[in-house]
Every structure is written in structure tokens, then in C-alpha cells.
């Protein structure tokens, strides 16, 4: 599945990420996010329906966050606190390096 996008404001977009992020699509996820950053937009990456994210996916999210910061924009991740994705981010230590929100609404509020 290709990540879908919708514009919240002219400077903030919502990108809904796939149910599974792994070696087969992590590059595509990162490319989609980077396209938004290059256009000067902050991104809310909606992972609330993402059930699986392997190491290639978590690394793609971390790199995307760093690329956003380098371009002066922001990556906010909407991740359900009880999800497998949240657990993986916590166990890897990436949660402390990313802006996590428990819902899209809270990520939108920033």
C-alpha cells in the first residue's frame, strides 16, 4: 500500500502509513515523507492503524525525522500507545528521539 496523504493546512500534511512497514516498503515510506519535507511541509505520520513495523521501518522513520529537522520542518508520529509499533519504538530507544503523539488529533494540535 502506498502511503496516502491529505492536507491539513498549507504547511502541514497528514500521511497515513501502511498497516505493515518492512523492508519491502520502508524506502517508499521514507520517500513519501521526504517529498513533503522538501516542499517545506511538516508531516503528521499516522501509524495508528500500523500493526507491524520492522527495523527497516523504524530506521526509515528515524532518518526521516532527522531529514525533516535538517530542512527546518517537523515530523510528528501519531502512534497508539498500546500498539506493537509503540512498543518497538520504546524498546529500540527511538521513542526518545521522535515526536510521538497518541492520536492524530493530538499530533495536529502539536
**pLDDT attached to residue 2:** 65
pTM of structure: 0.93
Q: Can you give the CATH number for the domain in which 30 is found?
A: 3.30.750.24
Model confidence pLDDT, tens digit, residues 35-46: 999 999 999 999
Sign of CA dihedral 18, 15, 88, 22: positive
Residue 76's pLDDT band (cuts 50, 70, 90): very high
In this structure, how many other beta carbons lie within 10 angstroms of the beta carbon of residue 48?
A: 18
Nearest alpha-carbon partner for 49 in 87, 13, 21: 21
Total domains in the chain come to: 1
Domain that holds residue 29: 4-109
Amino acid at each position: 500500500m502506498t502511503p496516502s496523504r491529505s492536507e491539513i493546512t498549507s504547511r502541514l500534511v497528514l500521511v497515513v502509513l501502511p498497516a505493515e512497514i518492512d523492508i519491502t516498503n520502508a524506502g517508499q515510506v521514507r520517500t513519501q515523507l521526504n517529498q513533503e519535507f522538501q516542499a517545506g511541509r511538516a508531516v503528521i505520520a499516522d501509524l495508528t492503524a500500523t500493526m507491524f513495523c520492522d527495523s527497516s521501518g523504524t530506521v526509515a522513520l528515524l532518518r526521516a525525522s532527522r531529514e525533516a529537522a535538517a530542512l527546518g520542518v517537523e515530523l510528528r508520529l501519531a502512534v497508539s500507545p498500546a500498539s506493537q509499533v509503540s512498543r518497538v519504538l520504546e524498546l529500540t530507544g527511538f521513542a526518545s528521539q521522535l515526536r510521538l503523539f497518541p492520536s492524530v488529533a493530538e499530533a495536529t494540535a502539536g
